[in-house]
Amino acid sequence: MQAHDLSAGGEVLARVHDTARTAARLHGLAGAEVTLINVSENATFRVEDPATGTRAILRVHRLGYHSVPAIASELAWLEALREQAGVRTPGVIPAPDGSRVLTVPGERPRECVMFEFLPGTEPPQERLVEDFELLGEVTARMHRHARTWRRPAGFTRFHWDYDAALGSESRWGRWQDGLGMDTEAPAVLDRLDKELRERLHRFGRGPGRYGLIHADLRLANLLTTGDGPPSVIDFDDCGFGWYLYDLAAALSFIEHHPLVPEMIEAWLRGYRTVLALPAEEEAEIWTFVMFRRLLLVAWIGTHTGVDIAAELGAGYTAGTCELAERYLTGAL
Give the pLDDT score at 13: 85
Q: Is 44 helix (H, G, I), strand (E, B) or coil?
A: strand
Backbone CA torsion sign across 287, 289, 292, 294: negative
CA distance 316 to 276: 33
**Which tens digit of pLDDT belongs to each residue from 59-71?**
999 998 999 999 9
Q: Which amino acid is at 315?
A: G
CB under 8 Å to 55, separation ≥6 — which residues?
Answer: 46, 47, 48, 49, 117
Residue 141 pLDDT: 98
Torsion, Cα 323 232 300 247, to 10 degrees, reads: 20
Please give the domain boundaries of the chain with CATH numbers for all domains: 5-116 (3.30.200.20), 125-328 (3.90.1200.10)
Residue 106, classified by CB atoms within 10 Å of its CB into exposed (0-12), middle (13-18) or buried (19+), is: exposed
What does the alpha-carbon distance between residue 311 and residue 271 come to, in Å, rounded to a whole number? Answer: 32
SS3 content of the chain, % helix, strand, coil (to 5): 45, 15, 40
Q: 224, 232, 178, 233: which is closest to 42 by C-alpha?
A: 233
Residue 6 has what pLDDT?
A: 67
Distance CA 214, CA 74 (A): 10
User: In whole angstroms, what is the distance from residue 107 CA to residue 205 CA?
Assistant: 42
- In this predicted structure, what is the pLDDT of residue 10? 67
The reported pLDDT for the residue numbered 227 is: 83
What are the pLDDT digits (tens) for 245-290? 999 999 999 999 999 999 999 999 999 999 999 999 999 999 999 9
In angstroms, how far is CA 300 from the centroid of its own chain?
A: 14
CB 100 within 8 A of CB 113: yes
pLDDT of residue 4: 56
Q: What is the pLDDT of residue 101?
A: 98
If 0-12 CB within 10 Å is exposed, 13-18 middle and 19+ buried, where does residue 109 land? exposed
pTM of the predicted model, to two decimals?
0.95
Give pLDDT, residue 5.
61
DSSP of 186-251: HHHHHHHHHHHHHHHHHH---TTTEEEE-S---GGGEEB-SSS--EE---TT-EEEETTHHHHHHT
Instruction: List, for the chain, all residue ranges whose pLDDT scores fall below the cut of 70.
Output: 1-10
Helix (H) or strand (E) holding 115: strand 110-116
